[in-house]
Every structure is written in C-alpha cells, then in structure tokens.
A and B are shown apart, each in its own frame.
Chain A
Amino acid sequence: MTPDASQPITIGGGRNYMNISLDGLFALAYSSARDLDHIEVGDHDPQQRGFNARNVELAFDGAVDPYFEGFANIVFKLDNDNQTEVEVEEAFMQTTSLPFNLQLKAGQFFAAFGRLNPTHPHTWDFADTPLVNGLFLGPDGLRGVGAQGSWTLPLPWYSQLIFASQNGRGSTGFSFRNPGDDGMFFDRITTDREARGLQDFVWIPRFENSFNLSDTQTVLAGASGAFGSNETGANSRTQIYGADLLYKWKSSHAEGGFPFVKWQTEFMYRRFQAGHGADDSFPVAETFHDWGLYSQVLWGFKKGWVAGVRGDYVDMQDSKFTDDLDRQSRWRLSANLTWYPTEFSKIRLQYNQDFLEQNFFLSAREVESVFLQWEFILGAHGAHKF
C-alpha cells in the first residue's frame, strides 16, 4: 500500500487517519458589573459572576485523500443556567496540492479577517475577545459557510492573497445579513433576507506580508476587508476595513520557545448604512462610521510564563436616533499573567478595567473584572500557526 501522500504528521506514530483532540476552557469570574454578559463582547468570554464553561472544543483533522484535508471544530458551551449549547464552529475541506501555490477551502470556517478572527478562543493570549472584534465582527467572530481561495505570491518574502465569500448570516455575520435579536438590529426591524444576488453575500479579501527584520525578529502586516449587505433596510450595505501588525522577537537561545516578546495591533473601521428598517418604519436612515483598535504586548519572560497587557478602544458614532446598548464608545485595559505548566494546560489570571462613555442615550459606566481561567488539552492537538 502506498503511503498516504498528504498525511499530516500525527501523534502516535502515524497510525491514525484522523487527529482528535478535546480542549476544555473554563473561567472563574468576578466583576463589579452583574451583567457581565453585556460588558464582555465575545460569546466564549466569561458571561457570569462565578464559574463559566464557554468553550469545550472537539477538534478533528486529517488527510481525506491525496487531494484534500478535512477539519472540524465542534464547540460545546454551558450557558448561565448550565444548559448546553452546541456550535459547529468550523467544518471544512481544503485542497493540498493545487498548482501555482493555490489553495481552496470550502465549508464552514472563520473568515481570514485580521489576525485574531481566524483563531480559536483557547489559543488566545487573553481571556476575552477584544472590543473591536466582538462589536464589529460579532461575538462569535466573522464566520460562516462559504468558500475561500488563497494564493501565495511567488515573491522572495511571504506574501499571501486570500479571497472568500460566505453567507454572512446571523450573529456570525454580525454586521451583515444579521436579523439581530428579536428581529431588531440597531433599533430597526429586520427581515431575515434570503439572498437576492451576489451583493447579499459577504466578500472578504485579505493581503498579508511578512518580513524577517533579523534572525530573531519577525514582522507580519495585513490588510483585510469585509463587504456585504445588512438587514436594516432595502439596500443597506456594510463595509469593514482592517489593518493588522504583528511583531515578534524570540531569543536565539530560546528554551521551549522562551523568552519572547509579541506585539499585535489590529485596527478596524466599519461603515454601516442603517436604513429605515424592513417595514420602512424607522424615521431616520443613518450611516455609522465606527472604528476601533486593540493593541497587546505579550512577554514570555521565563519558560512557561507569559505576562500580557492590552488596550482596547472602540469609537461608536454618536446618534440621536439609535438607542442600542452596543453603540457605546468604550475602552478597556487588561493585564494578565499566564502559567503554562506544559503546552497542554494553562492557568491565567486577568484584570480588566472597562470604561463606557456617555452618549445621547446611555450614561457612563466603569467596570472592574477579574478572571481566573484554566484550560486542558487532550489528544492529538495540532500545532499552532505563527
């Protein structure tokens, strides 16, 4: 029997056709806010004072045959009343050997927008989603069923062009074809619209380049876009632009990958046309120009120990007409310390200071939160990208 040409390296001596792993991520949360689920913007973030289990993830991957690889991610969450929610986070097929450095991917997947969006919560350097990601791309990230093509350019440095199209529906297409909670989004009544044409899908281009500044320093810069229609009006459109920059230094004598310094910044700008609503009843059509960014520095100072600091800011355009809890400008400062006993477990202590600014409808608010997060990984978990 000929060896499987595209078999990924597996744990256990290559005797598996599929890698399976289970990741459990938990947090004990204290906050001065009782409505922690409004202060936190991510669906996998701690949602209540007390114990949280928002990410129990089953991951599968393997070589399908000489032409394709398959991946799937099923995530279980426990809600505040300990009810189980299940999410097909990702499930897709990907080519392995197209010519001209092309790759095609199709199924349900995280859009390649920015640096953080395509990653899984348990790989994050902080216990919660940055404000700009949760508020613009949605609590679950920008993901959906779709197809993506990518091309690695024939240049001496790493340069990749990615282009995807997804349905962009529901809360995973948060700023797009999302009917919102209870049929309302930004105060407008929405219809859960079926696609009228190509313009109703979300189109996501990305261009990223990486350079080695030296033997020990690497920089990666990217620009992303997401374009589609939203459901607050007959012809209302949303455009999101993103720019990201990653800098990493790692010691040439690194033990277990330490010490290192990683600095990552993402900036996003969203233009959201809010129409008159599906029934034309909302009196004012507005175009919101919102923007935000986060910047985080991680310092792995000793093998297994990482200290982190992050600043978040989101600017939501003020409106005299739209009274929506999500439309409050706000900033957040986070500091944390993580201990990785091995690469298969972690314990993290994080402090957040949130400040929500007063606007026409909502008053200012200051919130402090502390999280104690812990994680375990079982099974043949794959390696992580840079």
Chain B
Amino acid sequence: MKKILLLLPAIFACSLSAHAKLNVVATLPDFGSLAREIGGDKINLVVLAKPTEDPHFVDARPSFVVSLRNADVLIDGGAELELGWLPPLLQNARNPKIEIGKPGRVQASQGIRLMNIPANATRAAGDVHALGNPHFTVDPIIAKAIAQHIAQSFSALDPANAAFYEANYKKFEAAINAKLQEWGAAMLPFKDQHVVAYHDSWPYFAHRFGVSIDIFLEPKPGIPPSPSHLAEVISQMKAQHIKAIIVEPFHDRRIAEKVASATGAKVVDFSQFPGGMPGTDSYVKLIDILVSRLAAALK
C-alpha cells in the first residue's frame, strides 16, 4: 500500500507533463489508422478493437475504461456498430471531454451519407443497423472526409500543432487521390461483376469500385450460414458465374471454401481494418491489397 501511495504523485506528474501529446482513443482500427496518419508522433493512440476480431462484439475490457478516462479525443463510428459494447465503457469512464457534442468526440459518420438505411427497423431482418450500413471507412473518398474531420478536431484541441495536422491531411488526401486513379483503373475491367461476401460489410467498397457485392453467405446479417441458404447461394453463383467470395479474418473460412469448391470460385481474404492481414498496416496499403486481390480473383 505504501508503495502505491508513493507512486501516485509520480503518476500525476507524468500525466501532467505528458499533456504535450494528445491522448486519442479510437474504437476501431480503421479510425485508428486515420488518426495515426493525421496525428503522427504527436498523439498517443489506443485502439480498442483488434483488427482481426468482429467489431460488433468487442469485449468491454476494464483496461479500456482507463484509456477512455484519460482520452482527450474519442473517435467512434456514430453509426451504432459499437452499440453492443461501447456504452457501458463510456458510463464507467466518466470523461466529460469525450461526450457527444464536445470537441473531444469525433463521430466518423458525421456529414457522411450512409447507405442502405432500412425503411423499418425490425430485428426479424437480423442485425440491421437502423442508421444505415456502418462499414463506411472502406470507401477511400469517405476515408478522406473522416481524416479531414479528425484533422480539424486535433487542430482545435491542439492548436500549437494545427499546421502539422493540416499538412498530414493534405499528404493523405493527395495520396488517396493519386491512388484512386490507379485503383479505378485496376477495377474497371470488372465493372458490374457480382461478388459474394460472408457478411454485408462491403456496399461502400462495391459502390466506389463498380462491383456488385449483394449476395451473402449469411442468410440475414449476423445469422450463421444455413445449409439451405448456402445451396441457394451456390446455384446463384453458378447461374451468374460469380468468381469470388470475400471473407474477413474472423469468419469461418471453411464455409466459404466449401461454397468455393462447389462453384469454382476463389475465396478472397479481405478486411475492413488496417493490420487485419499481413502487409496492410496503413489505410492505403489495405485498399491496395484489397483491390489487387479482388482483381486477381475476378480475372
């Protein structure tokens, strides 16, 4: 007990002097990677969800309470993807700086038009998100908007480094704009081709790159694939000559492989999150890999 009492002033002192850097918490790794692009080494970044796990069901670990308590900025989706685990963390964290409406709260969906807003919110349709599909960061144009929002927020809270954040945004914007040409060209030969996905998390990617990702191994969002539904998917794939099935790191790949072998299609490893697969430790690298993998599978 004495040791802890002696440590306390030291810890207070550390936290005060370390205020040189913004303490940023991002719920998901896509927001985290954008925060790192903008903030560089001028921020301390904690990302709550792992890039390999299902973002709908992240454990609300008590250590997250500590990170949120110390946060100057919280970046979350604002489209209810984190609804199953973020609220009790926030209640326990008691950090007024990151409440909705405060400068320290960045909701990534702000100002973004979400796709597939359901006309009726009923759970009979599975795990439907009432505000629209929340997996939007995977569209590079939306990613730019989020990055700009983050830059504005960092600059407002840390005006001394505003020029740095703004410059990083410009760099990111330029990189994306250049890459968009490249990615567009790579995907052009496959315009309007159909692709199957395990879960309905790719409408923004599909919209941006001109493919159609509207057949899913899940019969409804969040409902595990059933044999009868898979049989239907297989016959659809054969009828439309669909060549690719995209799965994320936490999905049951064997199910996708069974469907692939029955149809001659390829299973393509995808992820919404930088870091979810080797070689994807930045946003640009992630989209690079997604585009090149999908293009290779669709040839």
Q: Indicate whether A101 sits within 8 Å of B94 (C-beta atoms), given known contacts A3-B101, A157-B66, A386-B59.
A: yes
CB-CB under 8 A from B65, the residues of chain A are 152, 158
| Per-position binary interface string of chain A over residues 363-382, scored 1 when its CB falls under 8 Å from any chain B CB and 0 otherwise | 00000000000000000001
Q: Check A158 against B63 for contact (C-beta < 8 Å).
A: yes
Q: Is the CB of B54 within 8 A of A254?
A: yes
Contact with B along A169-181 (1 / 0, CB 8 A): 0000000000000
The CA of A156 and the CA of B8, in the complex, are separated in Å by: 10
Option from B80, B94, B102 in Cβ contact (under 8 Å) with A5 = B102
- Report yes or no: A97 in contact with B96, Cβ–Cβ below 8 A: yes
Given contacts A304-B224, A342-B223, whether A2 and B84 have CB atoms under 8 Å apart is: no
Give B225-256 interface residues, CB cut-off 8 Å to A: 249-252
Given A210-B62, A210-B63, A253-B249, CB of A152 within 8 Å of CB of B87: no
Distance, CA A218 to CA B58, complexed state (A): 13
Per the bound structure, the CA–CA distance linking A69 and B102 in Å amounts to 18
Interface size of B in residues (CB-CB distance below 8 Å) = 50
> Which 7 residue pairs spanning A and B have beta carbons closest together?
A158-B62, A210-B62, A257-B57, A3-B101, A97-B96, A255-B250, A385-B88
Contacts of A304 in B (CB 8 A): 224
The number of inter-chain residue pairs (CB within 8 angstroms) is: 131
Does A320 have its Cβ within 8 Å of any Cβ on chain B?
no
On chain B, the residues within 8 Å of A13 by CB distance are 130-131
Q: Which chain A residue lies CB-closest to B54?
A: A255
Binary interface encoding of chain B residues 36-73 relative to chain A, with 1 for a CB under 8 A from any of its CBs, else 0: 00000000000000101110110111110110010000
B222: CB under 8 A from chain A?
Answer: yes
For residue B262, CB closer than 8 A to chain A, the reply is: no
Q: Contacts A220-B62, A256-B222; is A11 near B100 (CB within 8 Å)?
A: no
**B69 touching A152, Cβ below 8 Å:** yes
Q: For the complex, is B85 an interface residue (Cβ under 8 Å from A)? A: yes
> Is B123's beta carbon under 8 Å from chain A?
yes
B88 touches A384 (CB 8 A): yes
| Given A3-B100, A96-B94, residue A9 in contact with residue B15 (CB < 8 A) | no
Chain B nearest CB from A21 CB (Å) reads: 12
Q: How far is the CB of B196 from chain A (nearest CB, A)?
A: 18
B interface, by DSSP: helix, strand, loop or mixed? loop
Task: Specify which chain A residues have a CB less than 8 angstroms from the CB of B86 in the assembled complex.
Answer: 9, 383
> Given A101-B69, A386-B62, are A252 and B52 also a contact pair (CB < 8 Å)?
yes
**Contact check: which of A69, A257, A342 meets B59 at CB < 8 Å?**
A257
Residues of B at the A interface (CB closer than 8 Å) are 4, 8, 11-12, 15, 50, 52-54, 56-57, 59-63, 65-66, 69, 80, 82-88, 90-94, 96, 99-102, 121, 123, 126-127, 130-131, 222-224, 249-252
A386 to B89, CA, bound (A): 9
Min C-beta distance of B52 to chain A, whole Å: 5
Kindly list chain B residues whose C-beta atoms are within 8 Å of the C-beta of A382.
Answer: 87-88
Within 8 A of B (CB), among A192-227: 210-212, 215, 218, 220
Cβ contact within 8 Å between B131 and A386 = no
Question: In the complex the two chains form, is B88's CB within 8 Å of A5's CB?
Answer: no
- A344 in contact (CB, < 8 A): yes
Proximity bits, A98-136, B CB within 8 Å = 1, else 0? 100111000000000000000000000000000000000
Is the C-beta of A346 less than 8 angstroms from some C-beta in chain B?
no
Is there an interface contact between B57 and A218, defined as CB atoms closer than 8 Å?
no
Tell me which residues from 144 to 193 in chain A have a Cβ below 8 Å from any Cβ of chain B: 152, 154-158
Asked if A343 is at the interface (CB within 8 A of a chain B CB), the reply is yes
- Which A residues are in CB contact (< 8 Å) with B80? 9, 11
| Cβ contacts A to B, 27 pairs, < 8 Å | A5-B99, A7-B100, A8-B87, A8-B91, A9-B82, A11-B83, A96-B94, A98-B94, A152-B66, A152-B69, A157-B63, A157-B66, A158-B62, A210-B61, A218-B59, A250-B59, A251-B53, A253-B250, A256-B54, A256-B56, A256-B57, A342-B222, A342-B223, A383-B83, A383-B86, A385-B60, A386-B62
